[in-house]
Chain A
Amino acid sequence: MTTHVEITPALIAEHGLTPAEYDYLISVLGRTPTITELGVFSVMWSEHCSYKHSRKHLATLPTKGPAVLHGPGENAGAVDLGEGWACVFKVESHNHPSAVEPYEGAATGVGGILRDIFAMGARPVALFDALRFGPPDEARNRWIIGGVVHGIADYGNCVGVPVIGGEFSIDPCYTDNCLVNVMAIGIARHEELMTARAEGTGNLLVYYGNATGRDGIHGATFASAELNENSADDRPCVQVGDPFMEKKILEVTLELIRSGKIVALQDMGAAGLVCSSTEMADKGGLGLRMDLDKVPQRAANLSAYELLLSESQERMLAVVAPENLEAVGAILAKWDFETCVVGETTDTGRFVVEHHGVVEADIPLPAICTNVPKTEPVDAAPPQLDVRDWTDIDTDAFDWGALLLAALHSPHFASKRWIYEQYDHQVQTNTVARPGGGAGVLRIAGWSGLLAGTLDGNGLWCMLDPYEGTKCVTAEAARNLVACGARPLAATNNLNFGNPRKPAGSWQFVEAVRGLGDACRAFDTPITGGNVSFYNESQRMAVFPTPVVGMVGVIDDPAHLTPPAFQSEHDVVILVGPRATHCGASRVLRDLTGDLVGPAVTLDLETEKRSHAAIRALIVEGLLTAANDLSDGGLLMALAEMSLGSHGGMGCEVVLPEDEERACALLSEEPSRFVVTCARESADAVIERCEAMGVRAKRIGSVKGGTFAIQAVCTLTLFELFESWENPL
């Protein structure tokens, strides 16, 4: 029973295809598509699946390196950790779903990224979340914030993967489009790694997990368009998560992979059954025949269109040789899963779908996987920005003590304890460095090193200059790893942007990718995968261009692990890195004035690398007691964090460098800078080592219990700092 639907120009437009794309579709097919085929083309050609706006630029990123085992194109990237261990990691966004249905949107975002990791054969061991919202004094923003945090907590806690780090950032630009980016890290032995490349004809497509319903149909297309006042009507596009099912799928999937009885594996994420099946077949240069009557269904009268496009969660598709079906079925049965053979691989290179005995789709695979239409080039031009120079602000009039307390009380800088205490951050008993400080650090049983991870972004820096800003963001991620004693190994990225069809969106994206590439090349951290999220834009505003960089690093010797907060009274506080020259792009000034305060922060890659080398050398020599990088909020916030994060309340007494203007010294977010502490007797050695490596180092004070004092700036008690800082939403 074919669903006869006339293909009208309106229907084509509704499916997000331009007239030129539709002409291409006709030329590929040689006839008018069925409604099912139109749906398939629509999702497979959506930005979410095809990266049609971004592919050309992403191709410029460095993706190779001695440690890379699997680069972009797989479910997730994989890097070698040594001793036969591999780290699998990737970041993914769930921005659009979270903006209309925060709880389920964020929860299913966690589910999706976890499946990408275990589909590679790795056990997920850690999550990081980078969250960006509009100001919580608006009720709707509060609803979104609460829902997102709760959704991540409920899903991650139930599956049993600890959230060990992340960021929480507030800016009015994220009011209509919140950003919810989640990075997952998994661990596997090299020989356990699995790919999503089908091989051999006559192999069976085995479907397991949740039955298919109507939820999430056209989620990929939905994620590839601007949100508008009717977006709430798209709520049925948001899927509903079931973390218990996910946990069972995780365990059975790892058991299946370890059994050696499956050829390839992919989760059904965006564009569901279509995308997972066709991508695996296309990678192997094969074809597919699928019988939709065999797909388990939990809603009545699902059409072929709905079955193929549904984004019901917690579903997997494995390619299995016929002789292994029984063994696979036995493992699935142990976990109470049915074994559903829904199709087989063929040598035709075509995607043939039957439903109720009728061929509903017959499409050449390359047309939906590799030879997707490229979009016509869009004019790229920088947006007109209304930037106010920082020198216009009368910083001399600031009451710095009051300013510090107010900033600490703001949701952007306030303690994130209320968030990370809702996440089980210790399950699996690997968490060495808990959330709330710098990088998250894990041990891996049976491996001699420690694994560090971080997820960082800064829309404000990138709004002022997407190229320099993205370089600075990448550098900040690397600094976070370096500060904890790690050597940065590889990176993943989540590129959150506005509408790429507009000149400003297009320009920002191209500039950011260029910055990301240059920085990753300089730091030898290849990009092993990532995610692009466009259309984070409403009729009234677009988000700041917000590339978020996830990075993993290795602490070769656990003795190198360095805490981010003050450790001992009388330790010397030393500022490492170049002199502060301006306080443009300052988060504090942005929050204070509501303006874009310039100039942009810029990064000299060689200076940054020298700073990294100096800190690493000091840590390896065992000279440092603590290290923290300077980022948003500058030295002022770095010192406050180091005090507030210390056990037993250790403050500091600091004198600012005499060669820096006071506001710059306190607020500058210029890169390549660290604050470190060391024992008194090591201070001269620390400064000498830095200077010998061409890095400026200045002794600025010492750790002192109970007080937070910066000469000619503020004298506060730690209690006052705490009182302001502990401000749960």
Chain B
Amino acid sequence: MSARWAVVVFPGSNCDQDFVRALRDVMRVDVRVVWHKDSVPDDVDCIAVPGGFSYGDYLRAGALAAMSPVMESVRRHAERGTLVIGVCNGFQVLCETGLLPGALMKNRALRFRCHDAYLRCELDGGPFAAGQLAKGDTIRLPIAHGYGNYYVPADQLESVRKQIAFTYCDALGEVSDRANPNGSVLNIAGVTNEAGNVLGMMPHPERAVEALLGGTDGLCIIRAMNRWAENTAVR
């Protein structure tokens, strides 16, 4: 059975339609849009929390969205194993919701940055990589954020180390400070929760799904999720 997707929309989301298009027009999967005042339906297998400036990023990026009715339903879904991916502002929302560890601070250079970044896959199989990416693979995805500087307190670093999904690297796959666009601790570009079914990442896989626009590496992650959900449908 083909996986069912939901894309959450807050006022101020601006990558929601990009995600919908990647799923509907490129992946050709079933996708519905869920407004922030509603709940994600029970029969959904994968949830995308998109990028943008939810609620204008007032107070703190993602802080208000974390209090929205829709995120309550996302939390329930996550607890029962539904796959959740939060990208950019969606990553910030998942951290603020407590579904992911850590926080995202202002970029080290204090400026918004939009360009392609190379990422090293740190996942060894699992819902976001299985059959698509091997540990150590390098992919290229666009980044576009002002607050992508991932931080976890020193006493949590050891546990988070096991949950790293992607790190910033150079074109040759070398993880270095030079390749770190925002100052993230351990070059972290994306992390999962402990259970491994929730992923947050600053780079945009949904922006890299068509060769015309400069790359298709983002498809790996979306495809992996899709396959995983098809095979293990929890609904």
Give the B-binding residues of A (Cβ under 8 A): 153-154, 157-160, 242-245, 247-248, 251, 335-336, 420-432, 434, 443, 445, 558
Whether A248 and B12, one on each chain, are in contact in the complex, defined by CB atoms closer than 8 angstroms, is: yes
Tell whether A244 pairs with B18 under 8 Å between CB atoms, given A336-B11, A423-B114, A429-B206: no
Whether A244 and B56, one on each chain, are in contact in the complex, defined by CB atoms closer than 8 angstroms, is: yes
What is the total of A-B residue contacts with beta carbons within 8 Å? 85
Contacts of A429 in B (CB 8 A): 18, 21-22, 206-207, 209-210, 213
Least CB distance, A44 to chain B, in whole angstroms: 33
Nearest CB in chain A to that of B206: its residue: A429
Least CB distance, B123 to chain A, in whole angstroms: 24
Least CB distance, B222 to chain A, in whole angstroms: 13
Least CB distance, B82 to chain A, in whole angstroms: 25
Whether A248 and B11, one on each chain, are in contact in the complex, defined by CB atoms closer than 8 angstroms, is: yes
Whether B52 and A432, one on each chain, are in contact in the complex, defined by CB atoms closer than 8 angstroms, is: no
Contacts of B142 in A (CB 8 A): 426
Whether A432 and B212, one on each chain, are in contact in the complex, defined by CB atoms closer than 8 angstroms, is: yes
Whether A244 and B112, one on each chain, are in contact in the complex, defined by CB atoms closer than 8 angstroms, is: no
Whether A422 and B25, one on each chain, are in contact in the complex, defined by CB atoms closer than 8 angstroms, is: no
In the assembled complex, B111 has its CB within 8 A of some CB on chain A:
yes
Please report the C-alpha to C-alpha distance between residue A445 and residue B52 in the assembled complex, in whole angstroms. 21
Please report the C-alpha to C-alpha distance between residue A425 and residue B17 in the assembled complex, in whole angstroms. 16
Least CB distance, A373 to chain B, in whole angstroms: 43
Whether B12 and A426, one on each chain, are in contact in the complex, defined by CB atoms closer than 8 angstroms, is: no
Contacts of B11 in A (CB 8 A): 244, 247-248, 251, 335-336
Nearest CB in chain A to that of B22: its residue: A429
Least CB distance, B148 to chain A, in whole angstroms: 12
Contact digits for B57-69, partner A, Cβ 8 Å, 1 yes 0 no: 1100000000000
Least CB distance, B167 to chain A, in whole angstroms: 21
Please report the C-alpha to C-alpha distance between residue A348 and residue B235 in the assembled complex, in whole angstroms. 64
Please report the C-alpha to C-alpha distance between residue A428 and residue B15 in the assembled complex, in whole angstroms. 7
Whether B144 and A445, one on each chain, are in contact in the complex, defined by CB atoms closer than 8 angstroms, is: no
Residue in B14, B112, B142 whose Cβ sees the most chain A Cβ within 10 Å: B14
27 contacts between A and B (CB under 8 A): A154-B112, A157-B144, A157-B146, A158-B12, A160-B52, A244-B55, A247-B11, A247-B14, A247-B56, A422-B112, A422-B114, A423-B114, A424-B114, A424-B144, A426-B114, A426-B144, A426-B204, A427-B14, A427-B18, A429-B18, A429-B21, A429-B210, A429-B213, A432-B212, A432-B213, A434-B214, A445-B21
Please report the C-alpha to C-alpha distance between residue A661 and residue B18 in the assembled complex, in whole angstroms. 52
Ranked nearest first, the 6 interchain pairs of A and B with the lowest CB-CB distance are A160-B14, A244-B56, A424-B144, A429-B18, A158-B53, A422-B112
Least CB distance, A551 to chain B, in whole angstroms: 23
Chain B contact residues: over half helix, strand or loop, or mixed?
Answer: mixed
Tell whether A158 pairs with B56 under 8 Å between CB atoms, given A424-B144, A432-B213: yes
Q: Which of B15, B111, B114, B146 contacts A160 (CB 8 A)?
A: B15
Nearest CB in chain A to that of B25: its residue: A445
Nearest CB in chain A to that of B210: its residue: A429
Whether B112 and A157, one on each chain, are in contact in the complex, defined by CB atoms closer than 8 angstroms, is: yes
Please report the C-alpha to C-alpha distance between residue A431 and residue B209 in the assembled complex, in whole angstroms. 13
Please report the C-alpha to C-alpha distance between residue A445 and residue B17 in the assembled complex, in whole angstroms. 12
Contact digits for B141-183, partner A, Cβ 8 Å, 1 yes 0 no: 0101010000000000000000000000000000000000000
Nearest CB in chain A to that of B35: its residue: A334
In the assembled complex, B113 has its CB within 8 A of some CB on chain A:
yes
Nearest CB in chain B to that of A561: its residue: B212
Tell whether A243 pairs with B25 under 8 Å between CB atoms, given A424-B114, A426-B144, A429-B213: no
Least CB distance, B49 to chain A, in whole angstroms: 16
Q: A157-B112, A244-B11 are in contact. List 20 more A-B contacts (CB 8 A).
A: A157-B53, A158-B57, A160-B53, A244-B55, A247-B14, A247-B56, A248-B11, A335-B11, A336-B11, A420-B114, A421-B111, A421-B112, A421-B113, A426-B142, A426-B204, A426-B213, A427-B51, A428-B17, A429-B18, A445-B25
Please report the C-alpha to C-alpha distance between residue A247 and residue B206 in the assembled complex, in whole angstroms. 21
In the assembled complex, B115 has its CB within 8 A of some CB on chain A:
yes
Least CB distance, B200 to chain A, in whole angstroms: 19
Whether A159 and B58, one on each chain, are in contact in the complex, defined by CB atoms closer than 8 angstroms, is: no
Please report the C-alpha to C-alpha distance between residue A160 and residue B113 in the assembled complex, in whole angstroms. 14
Contacts of A430 in B (CB 8 A): 213
State which residues 5-25 of B face A: CB under 8 Å: 11-12, 14-15, 17-18, 21-22, 25
Q: Which of A247, A422, A425 contacts B53 (CB 8 A)?
A: A247
Contacts of B209 in A (CB 8 A): 429
Least CB distance, A419 to chain B, in whole angstroms: 10
Contacts of B115 in A (CB 8 A): 421
Whether B212 and A558, one on each chain, are in contact in the complex, defined by CB atoms closer than 8 angstroms, is: yes
Contacts of A153 in B (CB 8 A): 112
Please report the C-alpha to C-alpha distance between residue A247 and residue B54 in the assembled complex, in whole angstroms. 10
Contacts of A428 in B (CB 8 A): 14, 17-18
Please report the C-alpha to C-alpha distance between residue A429 and residue B20 in the assembled complex, in whole angstroms. 11
Least CB distance, B56 to chain A, in whole angstroms: 3
Nearest CB in chain B to that of A248: its residue: B11
Nearest CB in chain A to that of B18: its residue: A429
Contacts of A425 in B (CB 8 A): 114
Please report the C-alpha to C-alpha distance between residue A432 and residue B211 in the assembled complex, in whole angstroms. 9
Please report the C-alpha to C-alpha distance between residue A426 and residue B113 in the assembled complex, in whole angstroms. 12
Contacts of B210 in A (CB 8 A): 429
Least CB distance, A441 to chain B, in whole angstroms: 10
Nearest CB in chain A to that of B51: its residue: A427
Nearest CB in chain B to that of A245: its residue: B56
Nearest CB in chain A to that of B17: its residue: A428
Nearest CB in chain A to that of B15: its residue: A427
Nearest CB in chain B to that of A157: its residue: B112
Whether B144 and A427, one on each chain, are in contact in the complex, defined by CB atoms closer than 8 angstroms, is: yes
Q: Which of B18, B25, B56, B111 contacts A242 (CB 8 A)?
A: B56
Please report the C-alpha to C-alpha distance between residue A242 and residue B25 in the assembled complex, in whole angstroms. 33
Please report the C-alpha to C-alpha distance between residue A251 and residue B33 in the assembled complex, in whole angstroms. 15
Tell whether A422 pairs with B212 under 8 Å between CB atoms, given A157-B146, A427-B15, A427-B144: no
Contacts of A420 in B (CB 8 A): 114
Contacts of A558 in B (CB 8 A): 212
